[in-house]
Structure 1
Amino acid sequence: MIEAKYKNIFWTPCIEHTLNLALKNICDPNNNEGDNFHLWFIEEVTEEASFIKNFVMTHIMRWSMFHEFNKLKFLQIADTRFASVVIMLKRLLLIKVALVQMVVHPNWAAYREDDTAKAQRVKEHVLNDIWWDIIEYVVSFTEPIYAMIRLADTDKPCLHLIYEMWDSMIEKVKMPIYRFEGKEEGEECILYDIIKEILVSRWTKSNTPLHCLAHSLNPRYYSPAWINEVPGRISPNADHEVTEMRNKCFQKFYPDQEDFKTIKKEFADFALFMNAFENPDSIEDRADFEPQQWWGTHGVSTRLLIFLH
C-alpha cells in the first residue's frame, strides 16, 4: 500500500529475518518442500543436543554437578531468536570437556537414578566422537550464515554491503562442506546444492532494487584490488541483474526524463572512471575509503548521484 502511494519508496525486507528463515529451512527439513533426506542429520543432532541440555538443566543435582566442571552455562535460546540452533550448538562445543567430565564422574551414576535410560543416552552421545564431529561440521557450514546475521544486525549502515556479503557467505558455506565431503571444486555435492538452493531462494525473495543500487554505488566494488580478490568477480556495472535493478531505482526516483538521463550519465562516468571520476586520487581511494567518505571527497561534481550514495 505504501509503495503504491509513494512511488519513490521501496519495500525492503529484514535481512536478519530472511537469513534466520534460511537457517530454519536448513536445520529443520520439515520447513522445506520436497525430499530433504540429506538434511535430516542436522535436525537429529540438534534434537539430541536439546535433549542433553534439558536433561542436565531440569535436575538441580545434575546442573550443580555440571557447574563444578565449567562456569559457562547452557544457553536458553528461544526458537524465535535469530540462529537459535547455531548458537546452541556453538555453546555445546565450548562446554564439551565439562560434559565429558560430568558423565564419567562417579557421582553421575547417583544422579541418574530417576531416569537411567535417559542418563545412559546422554552419556553415549557425550562420549561419542563421531557425534561431536557432526556438531562441528554443522557449525562449520552454518557459521557463515550466523556471522552475516550478526553483521547485519547492527545500527551501522550496511545496505551497500548486503549484495556482496550474501554472495561471499554462500561461498563460505561451500568450503567446509566440500572439505568434509572430500569433494573437489567442480564436483557435484548434493548437500551443498540443497543448502545453496535454500539460500538463493531466500535471497531471490528478499532481494530488492535498493540492494542492487546500494551495491552499485559502493566505490570499492570497482577497484581492481577488490575485483581481482576472487576469481570471476565482476564490477556491479557488468552484472546484468544488478544493472536491471539499478535502472528500476533510477526510473522510480527520477520520473522526469531529463533527470533520468542525467542520473544515467552520472552513473556511467562513475562506473567507467570517466570525466570527473578519472582523477588518479579518485581511482586510488576507491579501494580504501568508506563509501560515504569517498562520495564526500570525490562525488561533488554530480548533481543527482551524490544524493543516492
Structure 2
Amino acid sequence: MLEERRRNLFWTPCAAYCIDQMLEEFMKLNRVRDCIEKGQKITKFIYNRIWLLNLMKKEFTGGEELLRPSVTRSASSFTTLQSLLDHRVGLRRMFQSKKWVSSRFSKLDEGKDVENIILDSSFWRKVQFVRRSIDPIVEVLQKINSDESLSMPFIYNDMYRAKLAIKINHNDDARKYEPFWSVIDNHWSSLFHHPLYLAAYFLNPSYRYRPDFILHPDVVRGLNACIVRLESDSARRISASMQLISETDLAISTRSELDPAAWWQQHGINCLELQRIAVRILSQSCSSFGCEHNWSIHDQMYVQRHNRLAQKRLSETIYVHYNLRLRERQMRRRSSNLPSLDIVLQEDLLYDWTVETEKQPLQEDEEILYNEMEHGDAYENDLQELDDGNADSRKRALEMVLADVVEPLDVEDPAQDDAASGDDQDLNFIDDDMTE
C-alpha cells in the first residue's frame, strides 16, 4: 500500500529476520531437531549442577563455556551446538573420568542418559552434519548484524555463496543438501529476489568489475526496476541505463578497498545519473534488526525468569542495561577488541539451553553439603566465643566433615586422559547416510 502511494519508495523485508526464519525452519528438520534436543539435554544437566559445571570448566574445557550466544535465539542454538562439537573431546573425557563415575550424578537416570549421548559417536557425526549444513547461513546472519559495513551491497552474493558452500560441504550429494536448499529457496524466491538487492549486487564494484562477473538476466531486470522507481525523470532514466564507469587503473585498484557507495562518489563523476542512483542504493542497510534489538530491552528483561520483578526494580534494570549498551557503543568506537556487553545482557537467547522445564529437587549430595554448610555457620559463631586452642580443634573437625562431602577437583589421571583421547580418535566425521 505504501509503495502504491509513493512511487519512488521501495519497501524491503528485513534480511536478518528472513534468515532467522530460515534457521527456525532448519530446526524443524528431523535430523537437526534431534541434535538440538540432545544438546539441550547436555547443557541443562551440566549447568544446573554446580559441582559438575566447575569440574568441566576447571579440568576439561580450559575454563571455556559450552554456551555460545549469538544474534538471535535460533542462531544461538546453532552456535552452542557448534561449541559442544568443539569441546567433544573434553566432554568425553569428563564422562569417562573417575570423578564422574564415583559421583552421585552418574547414578541418576538423567545422568546416564547424558553420558550415553556424549559417548555415542553417531551423535557427534550428526552434529557435524548439521554444522556443515547450517554454518554458512549463520555466518551471513552474523555479518549482516555486524557494524563493519553496510550489508545491502553484499547480501545477494553472500547468500548465493552460502548455498554453494552447503553444497560443497556435502560433496555435491543432493540427498544431504536438498532439504536445506529447499528451505533457503522458499525464502530466497519471495524475499531476496527483490529488485533492490539485485541492483545492489550489480552496482557493487567489488563484484561488477571482476573478470568472472556473470550478468544474470534477473540482475539486469532488478537494476532496471530500481532505475524506473528511483528516477522520476524519463530522460534521466534513459541516461542512467546507458551509462558505465570508465575502468581506470585507480578505479580498478580501489574497488575492493573503498566502501561501494564511497567508490561511486569518487569514480562516478562521468555518469552522474547512474551515480546518484547507485549511492542511494548502496548506502542502505538491509536489516532493521539492530534498531529493533536496541529498543526491545524491556522485552529482553521481562522474560520468564524475571516476570515477577517489581515495577520500580524492572525500570531500574532497564535503565542500567540501556546505559551499558550506550557505553559499550562509545568504547567500541575507540577499540574493536572489546568483548560485547550485549552478550551478557541476552540471557534469554539461551533460555532453552539452561533452564529445565521442571524445578529439580535438591540432589542428595547437594543437600548434605547444604546442611553441613548450615552447621558450619553455627560452628563459626561458636568459635568466636572460645579460646584459640579450642577454636583450632573445632575448625579442624569442621574441615574434616566438609572434606568428606565436597569432592575435590584434582588434576585428572594422564593415563585416563590418554584412554579418552584414543576413544575420540575413533570418531569418523565422514558423513554417513544423513538423509532425512
TM-score, length-scaled by structure 1: 0.80
Distance 1:225 1:259 in 2: 29
CA shift digits 1:142-200 (9 cap, x unpaired) = 11111111111123212111111111110001111227xxx4xxxxx223122112111
Give aligned pairs, total.
273
Distance 2:277 2:36 in 1: 44
Distance 1:82 1:15 in 2: 15
**Other-structure match for 2:186:** 201
Is the alpha carbon distance of 1:64 and 1:280 closer, same or farther for their aligned partners in structure 2, counting shifts above 3 Å? Answer: closer
List gaps (5 residues or longer) in structure 1: 30-39, 184-188, 228-233, 271-276
Describe the SS at the equivalent of 1:243: helix
CA shift digits 1:86-125 (9 cap, x unpaired) = 1111111232232122211222234445862221111122
Q: Is the radius of gyration larger for structure 1 or structure 2?
A: 2
Structure 2 residue 50 is the aligned partner of structure 1 residue 50: no
CA shift digits 1:253-286 (9 cap, x unpaired) = 12332222122122xxx1xxxxxx3454267347
1:9-158 aligned at under 5 Å gives the runs 9-29=9-29, 40-69=30-59, 70=61, 71-75=63-67, 77=69, 80-113=72-105, 116-155=108-147, 156-158=149-151
**Other-structure match for 2:249:** 281
Decide whether the 8 Å contact of 2:133 with 2:177 is kept in 1: no
Distance 1:79 1:278 in 2: 41
Is the alpha carbon distance of 1:282 and 1:77 closer, same or farther for their aligned partners in structure 2, counting shifts above 3 Å? Answer: closer
**Other-structure match for 1:167:** 160
Describe the SS at the equivalent of 1:308: helix
Shift of 1:224: 4.1
**Other-structure match for 2:274:** 305
Question: For structure 1, which segment, 110-119 or 295-304, has the greater mean C-alpha deviation from structure 2 after superposition?
Answer: 110-119
What amino acid does structure 1 have at the position aligned with 2:23? L
Describe the SS at the equivalent of 2:73: coil
Is the alpha carbon distance of 1:82 and 1:13 closer, same or farther for their aligned partners in structure 2, counting shifts above 3 Å? Answer: farther
Q: 1:248 aligns with which of 202, 207, 225?
A: 225
Describe the SS at the equivalent of 2:239: helix
Decide whether the 8 Å contact of 2:68 with 2:79 is kept in 1: no
Decide whether the 8 Å contact of 2:69 with 2:76 is kept in 1: yes
Is the alpha carbon distance of 1:87 and 1:279 closer, same or farther for their aligned partners in structure 2, counting shifts above 3 Å? Answer: closer
**Other-structure match for 2:8:** 8
Shift of 1:138: 1.2
Decide whether the 8 Å contact of 1:17 with 1:82 is kept in 2: no
Q: 1:191 aligns with which of 173, 176, 189?
A: 176
TM-score, length-scaled by structure 2: 0.58
Decide whether the 8 Å contact of 1:16 with 1:82 is kept in 2: no
Decide whether the 8 Å contact of 1:83 with 1:146 is kept in 2: yes
List gaps (5 residues or longer) in structure 2: 279-436
Distance 1:41 1:56 in 2: 23
Distance 1:224 1:77 in 2: 37
Decide whether the 8 Å contact of 1:222 with 1:286 is kept in 2: no
What amino acid does structure 1 have at the position aligned with 2:233? D
Distance 1:279 1:124 in 2: 62
What is the alpha-carbon root mean square deviation over aligned residues?
2.4
Decide whether the 8 Å contact of 2:35 with 2:127 is kept in 1: yes
Shift of 1:219: 2.1
Which has the bigger relative contact order, CA under 8 A and spacing at least 6? 2
